[in-house]
Structure 1
């Protein structure tokens, strides 16, 4: 694998030194170097031959020592790429990480989950549906994989009590990871593709408010979770003995080791932050600036300690910075516009590009990580004519989070699959169905809301 990676790395860079990319694709010298860097880091992101965050650093390194020196007259300043690693978008996601850490540290996630699980009134269907909504809601603000792990951990004792062929067990193992994936689209900080997509749009001068995002995304994941519950009911739960299965449910008891006063203060801080994000269009403070509030309060007043600060996902922020820097190079060199012209995408309508890029991201995300897909597809959308960028970018961003047919499609899928008792073919059937149906919900319901909000214009198909 390492030898193959080194071979591909050499093959992706070698033509750029000989000017072959210029000859083959009609590129400028800067575009040629940009393409070589993009091919190399895309391969590394997809294969994870080296850690993803190291690839994020590699993007900046190559842009500074190769792209800028080879650019010639008119080259941008180094700050153009350096700023990508601590931009408004990075601050927004940092605030999301801190809130996620506080939710976990003070047991707020487990409290919500226990309340939901204990109030299902003996119905297997209500249990599965409630777990789905609880997981999806938590995934709006927490890491999808961490949310899925926490929810499955809470009912792990039940997993051992039920036979591997139990319809309820299978339903939970499908509901939790799929709803974690779906819930991630609910807010701008819910999943990495959302943040990456928003970062690219902000670079182009497009602003989508926190509330506007939730207005179209919340109905999409709510309807999708309902549809998923319906599928699981038809396939598994219709013949399940609810009372017998629920009797086997044993929820781990909560162990409270934190100050109730600090816990209440944390809830208030989280609530104020979310309220600040939602109302950013009214008070005029950017979402990135609002995101500094929980960072300062939680660590400044020792609600979270230095250990929690060190445990924040700094590697993910570097990965995001690398993706944003790569997209910035696509924009600055004009490579994105070149590809758009080459494939004649600029002649399409807003709606057709909305569909095209959402399908493209969904298909690619079946086999690649949604973050890799966002980093690959979104730079191309930035080369479209100004009026086409927004619908194409939103389609590509959300489409990357809707793919879940395979155990390798998302980390939550792989986690659920590791519990055993579900076959790959079963995941393909259930995951493939909800991927298609959630995409339909997104394009119909989400598209309609986006059009009503006048964020996009689908009047001309």
Structure 2
């Protein structure tokens, strides 16, 4: 018993000694920087006044330095003595923690740390200066008339382009309305609306969320909804509006809002950054290991804060690495595109990691539990990340141009009470989502569980406030609501039943695996060129209906496979937000890290890798789980 107590006490002392060593070292570096800053300013005042005296033939320097500069508290002898004593105190504390034999040994080790800081900063400071110069150069003066004319011309050009796209979409809508392809009136009208909305989304003639808001308006005005009774009578405008609005705000929307709340809290209170930097600090200095670590961090971050916020976080974490790379290093584009592709893969990882997963859950009956989703997605994501990592090593060969890189630093910090509170709320919410089927008698649905983090996080303004609520991605919420309304209209009109019947004739006799391969290939092509969310909104309801009509119904398997594949479409710069963010990333000289060719040689093969993993490993796991 005494030995165990002794070992526990010894380990606690080791932890405290290590924490003291890190904190005293960091404070010593900060105090040294403060002293250097004061000395630099003193030298600056001296040189400026000397230059002033030389140019103006005056004698200001001696008087100004004596009466003003020397009299300032920052440059006084008392301040310098206090600073020196504080530095000696930190050196003494460091010596105790590091068990140095003398104060001189402690100072020697601390100066070595200072030398490492100088070596690293010396390589980056010139790039920071050039970046500042670029921002200054971007500010110019132009004639107001000329500037206004240019802006007006550009505005007219953009408006004309938008009106042209809108006009073409409207013409196609008229053709789809006039050409009879279906026997039912509601089906024909809904087909025209489906074509119109799909074209508006694909061409972005209107913003995506505006097109989504157009869906309930067209649904009611065109009279596409029918009564659920066997008579299938056309619903009037009043009944149709009630039906479409009741469908739009579903439990899936609450799940989306709950995910946004968790993501906002994890980001605002630095929990996501701390966890990511802790992982990266242990990746070492080997480019191959650092690349894999960053990719896994991007995938894991996408799982909880969405694959929209995750690449932004990860790109901010790798900036110190990118700034220290030598010119022409292939590791820079390799690392940037690796994070982008891994963030796309992370869109598969959890039900809240991307909107297409929310759409899939809304389409699947019964909806999968979080545990079932993780059982499929996590092995698929890990295998995709590893295969894409090997692909990037083969394409870019980063170790040849960059044998070693600057290691990411992590300063251990004690979690605050707010951070602990956020972590507890997050873990409890995720556990409730995972065991939702067992707790259905209490909560009924995952959407009700999503209310818990909204209340607990926004109930205390110090955790999340009104501004955080206003900063939710409401455009994504509107897009999801419009997609649900479109799905309800297509189903109610009978168009979904008719389309599924025609596709069923094409895939008739095919095994489930072949049908999965066909639909995954279809959604891969579609989502490569248009938004992952839009492609899922259009295709997943059809996939679900076709799956339900198979001799052995596997609707849930086909829908989940297609939803995973939607996130795996990453072959072009426009294929998903992570790719769009990566293609816009520039170095301090204004040069982009990536070009379209990078996506051709890495993104397209990565899409095929994801396709192979989903239809192989994903299919096997979903079959074993009884999807």
**TM-score over 0.5 (shorter chain):** yes
- Residue matched to 1:126: 289
- Distance, in Å, in 2 between the alignment partners of 1:232 and 1:385 is 36
- Distance, in Å, in 2 between the alignment partners of 1:319 and 1:63 is 16
Does residue 65 in structure 1 map to residue 221 in structure 2? yes
- Residue matched to 2:329: 166
**Deviation per CA, 1:293-349, whole angstroms, max 9, x where unpaired?**
100110112220010011111221111010111111111111122122233246243
What is the aligned counterpart of 1:271 among 427, 449, 452?
A: 427
What is the aligned counterpart of 2:267 among 99, 104, 108?
A: 104
What is the aligned counterpart of 2:576 among 410, 418, 429?
A: 410
| CA spacing shift, 1:123–1:133, aligned 2, 3 Å | same
- Distance, in Å, in 1 between the alignment partners of 2:469 and 2:358 is 21
Q: Kindly name which structure, 1 or 2, has the bigger radius of gyration based on alpha carbons.
A: 2
- Distance, in Å, in 2 between the alignment partners of 1:383 and 1:262 is 46
The answer on whether the counterparts of 1:155 and 1:251 sit within 8 Å (CA) in structure 2 is: no
- Distance, in Å, in 2 between the alignment partners of 1:259 and 1:149 is 23
Does residue 444 in structure 1 map to residue 604 in structure 2? no
| CA spacing shift, 1:385–1:373, aligned 2, 3 Å | closer
- Residue matched to 2:516: 354
Q: CA deviation at 1:74?
A: 4.4
Q: What SS is found at the alignment partner of 2:351? A: coil
| CA spacing shift, 1:129–1:69, aligned 2, 3 Å | closer
- Residue matched to 2:30: none
- Residue matched to 1:363: 525
| CA spacing shift, 1:27–1:42, aligned 2, 3 Å | same
The answer on whether the counterparts of 1:60 and 1:81 sit within 8 Å (CA) in structure 2 is: yes
- After alignment, is 379-388 or 280-289 more displaced? 379-388
| CA spacing shift, 1:453–1:164, aligned 2, 3 Å | farther
Does residue 305 in structure 1 map to residue 465 in structure 2? yes
- After alignment, is 280-289 or 105-114 more displaced? 280-289
What is the aligned counterpart of 1:423 among 595, 600, 605?
A: 595
- Distance, in Å, in 1 between the alignment partners of 2:408 and 2:493 is 58
Q: What SS is found at the alignment partner of 2:564? A: helix
Q: CA deviation at 1:65?
A: 2.1
The answer on whether the counterparts of 2:226 and 2:492 sit within 8 Å (CA) in structure 1 is: no
The answer on whether the counterparts of 1:340 and 1:346 sit within 8 Å (CA) in structure 2 is: no
What is the aligned counterpart of 1:6 among 166, 170, 194?
A: 166
- Distance, in Å, in 2 between the alignment partners of 1:121 and 1:15 is 61
- Distance, in Å, in 2 between the alignment partners of 1:318 and 1:333 is 22
- After alignment, is 219-228 or 232-241 more displaced? 232-241
- Residue matched to 1:29: 185
| CA spacing shift, 1:70–1:454, aligned 2, 3 Å | closer
**Deviation per CA, 1:386-441, whole angstroms, max 9, x where unpaired?**
21422332232111111111111122112212222333222211111111112111
- Residue matched to 1:459: none
| CA spacing shift, 1:275–1:337, aligned 2, 3 Å | same
- Distance, in Å, in 1 between the alignment partners of 2:499 and 2:471 is 40
- Distance, in Å, in 1 between the alignment partners of 2:344 and 2:547 is 31
| CA spacing shift, 1:98–1:400, aligned 2, 3 Å | same
- Distance, in Å, in 1 between the alignment partners of 2:242 and 2:372 is 31
**Deviation per CA, 1:341-378, whole angstroms, max 9, x where unpaired?**
23324624322221111110111111111111111211
* Structure 1 unaligned regions, length at least 5: 456-461
Q: CA deviation at 1:68?
A: 5.0
The answer on whether the counterparts of 1:406 and 1:428 sit within 8 Å (CA) in structure 2 is: yes
| CA spacing shift, 1:115–1:187, aligned 2, 3 Å | same
Q: CA deviation at 1:262?
A: 0.9
Q: What SS is found at the alignment partner of 1:366? A: helix
The answer on whether the counterparts of 1:403 and 1:409 sit within 8 Å (CA) in structure 2 is: yes
- Flag the structure with more relative contact order, 1 or 2, with Cα contacts below 8 A and sequence separation at least 6: 1
* Structure 2 unaligned regions, length at least 5: 1-160, 586-591
The answer on whether the counterparts of 1:357 and 1:393 sit within 8 Å (CA) in structure 2 is: no
Q: CA deviation at 1:73?
A: 2.4
Q: CA deviation at 1:160?
A: 2.7
- After alignment, is 3-12 or 435-444 more displaced? 3-12
Does residue 372 in structure 1 map to residue 534 in structure 2? yes
**Deviation per CA, 1:194-219, whole angstroms, max 9, x where unpaired?**
11111122xxx322111101100110
| CA spacing shift, 1:354–1:385, aligned 2, 3 Å | closer
- Distance, in Å, in 1 between the alignment partners of 2:468 and 2:565 is 32
What is the aligned counterpart of 2:446 among 287, 291, 298?
A: 287
TM-score normalised by the chain length of structure 2? 0.67
Q: What SS is found at the alignment partner of 2:438? A: helix
Please report the RMSD computed on the Cα atoms of aligned residues, expressed in angstroms. 2.3
**Deviation per CA, 1:104-134, whole angstroms, max 9, x where unpaired?**
1111111112112211122211111111111
What is the aligned counterpart of 2:374 among 214, 225, 239?
A: 214
The answer on whether the counterparts of 2:212 and 2:478 sit within 8 Å (CA) in structure 1 is: yes
